[in-house]
């Protein structure tokens, strides 16, 4: 090793020592805050505070640490702080490709205490019974707001307290460096549909495809087996140490929106969003829609999204509005519509 490198490494070792001391000091403050929170019976997880810290740090442009780096480093710091303040469980439901786990790691860090649920209804039950403090659920995909999530939010008391927008990125991972050796590619049907150009370009024809229900379940096997590959989320490949040969192989960039649910209302942040459902009872849809839009205009509320959803055979409008539910204009709107409306939550706006 050159003298130069060993000198530079000494500097790094010295800085690491300082960093650890600083982080430890930071944790000490977090522990004190935790004690205060427990005394005041307030909630440990504070999406508003996390967003404020991240925004402030990102404003101080640094030479090497970009926004992505700040996000991932601070996620882990927050997660560890929270864990020291009080251990709280997070439940998630993974239908298939394990994006929910990616969201959980992005929002709560790798060191959290996680519980994977079999279905969305059990996840809501666990939150309702206090078996877990938080739940991460998918809310919106390419086709719009997800009906089952909407239905469960309507029927349960859990509140939406944060949102996470996740780009759906797939990787081609294999232990075989030579892609011509690969005989079988394990993938979900939906993923195959989203990576058609890639598969065609490399001549991975359908005779090599093996459809699976869940890439999470087969990843362990692919990690050990020769001449096989898997197409899955980057996180799954990394978790099972399957070398990623190609990244971001999807035909187009789709994204998914997840939300965090819990048993309390999120605090007001700089920019907020409010989600609610309005029942269309014994009236014409057009009349209800018109009335709603008139009220939104009258109370000067920003409209982000409106989508019709059927819940228990009854039509509803799912609405996303700008602002926090305690803002004056939103309060007036909510009061006026109180009989037909269910407030799902207000939370820091990510986009």
The footprint of ligand PHB (CB under 6 A) covers 30, 45-46, 49-50, 53, 78, 81-82
- Residue 59's SS3 state is helix
Smallest separation, CB 78 to ligand PHB (Å): 4
* Cα angle 53-59-61, degrees, rounded to a multiple of 5: 120
Quote the least distance from Cβ 162 to ligand PHB, whole Å. 10
Residue with smaller CB distance to ligand PHB, 30 or 319: 30
Indicate the residue among 82 and 106 with the shorter CB distance to ligand PHB: 82
CB of 182 to ligand PHB, least distance (A): 43
Separation between Cα atoms, residue 98 and residue 79, nearest integer Å? 20
- The H or E element spanning position 155 is helix 147-155
**Rounded-to-integer distance, Cα 343 and Cα 153, Å:** 10
Nearest residue (beta carbon) to ligand PHB: 81
Between 45 and 124, CB nearer to ligand PHB: 45
> Judged by CB, which is closer to ligand PHB: 37, or 342?
37
Helices and strands per DSSP (H, E), number in the chain: 12, 15
Judged by beta carbon, residue 53 or residue 70, the one nearer ligand PHB is 53
C-alpha pair distances (Å), 195 with each of 51, 144, 157, 172, 246 = 34, 21, 39, 10, 12
Q: Toward ligand PHB, which CB reaches closer, 44 or 311?
A: 44
Q: Which is nearer to ligand PHB, 88 or 308 (CB)?
A: 88
> Computed from CA positions of residues 18, 20, 26, 32, in that sequence, does the dihedral angle turn out positive or negative?
negative
Q: Which is nearer to ligand PHB, 84 or 306 (CB)?
A: 84
> Which strands, in side-by-side order, build the sheet including 341-348?
303-311, 314-322, 272-279, 341-348
By the 10 Å C-beta count (0-12 exposed, 13-18 middle, 19+ buried), 177 is classed as exposed
DSSP 206: G
Q: Whole-number minimum distance, CB 36 to ligand PHB, in Å?
A: 13
Asked if 207 and 251 count as a contact pair (C-beta separation under 8 A), the reply is: no
Write down the least CB distance from residue 17 to ligand PHB, Å.
21
From the CB of 272, what's the least distance to ligand PHB, in Å? 16
Confirm if 308 and 317 have CB atoms less than 8 A apart: yes
Shortest approach of ligand PHB to residue 163 CB, angstroms?
15
* Shortest distance, position 216 Cβ to ligand PHB, whole Å: 28
Whether residue 179 contacts residue 202, with contact meaning beta carbons closer than 8 Å, is answered with yes
């Amino acid at each position: 090793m050159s003298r130069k490198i060993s000198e530079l490494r000494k500097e790094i070792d010295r800085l690491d020592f300082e960093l650890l001391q600083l982080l430890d000091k930071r944790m000490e403050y977090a522990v004190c805050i935790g004690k205060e929170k427990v005394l005041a019976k307030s909630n440990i997880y504070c999406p508003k505070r996390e967003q404020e810290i991240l925004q402030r740090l990102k404003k101080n442009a640094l030479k090497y640490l970009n926004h992505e780096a700040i996000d991932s480093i601070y996620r882990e710091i927050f997660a560890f702080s929270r864990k020291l303040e009080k251990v709280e469980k997070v439940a998630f439901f993974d239908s298939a490709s394990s994006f929910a786990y990616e969201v959980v790691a992005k929002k709560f860090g790798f060191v959290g205490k996680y519980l994977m649920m079999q279905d969305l209804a059990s996840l809501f039950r666990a939150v309702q019974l206090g078996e877990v403090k938080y739940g991460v659920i998918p809310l919106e995909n390419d086709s719009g707001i997800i009906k089952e999530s909407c239905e469960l939010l309507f029927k349960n008391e859990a509140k939406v307290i944060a949102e996470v927008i996740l780009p759906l990125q797939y990787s081609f991972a294999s232990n075989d460096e030579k892609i011509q050796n690969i005989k079988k590619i394990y993938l979900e049907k939906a993923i195959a549909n989203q990576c058609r150009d890639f598969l065609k370009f490399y001549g991975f024809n359908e005779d090599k495809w093996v459809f699976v229900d869940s890439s999470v379940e087969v990843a362990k096997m692919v990690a050990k087996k020769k001449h096989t590959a898997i197409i899955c989320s980057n996180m799954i490949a990394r978790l099972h140490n399957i070398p990623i040969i190609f990244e971001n192989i999807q035909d187009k960039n789709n994204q998914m929106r997840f939300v965090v649910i819990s048993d309390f209302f999120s605090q007001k942040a700089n920019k907020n969003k409010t989600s609610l459902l309005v029942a269309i009872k014994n009236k014409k849809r057009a009349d209800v829609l018109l009335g709603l839009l008139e009220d939104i205009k009258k109370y000067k509320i920003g409209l982000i999204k409106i989508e019709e959803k059927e819940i228990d055979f009854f039509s509803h409008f799912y609405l996303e509005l700008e602002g926090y539910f305690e803002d004056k204009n939103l309060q007036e709107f909510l009061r006026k519509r109180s009989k037909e409306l269910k407030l799902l939550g207000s939370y820091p706006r990510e986009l």
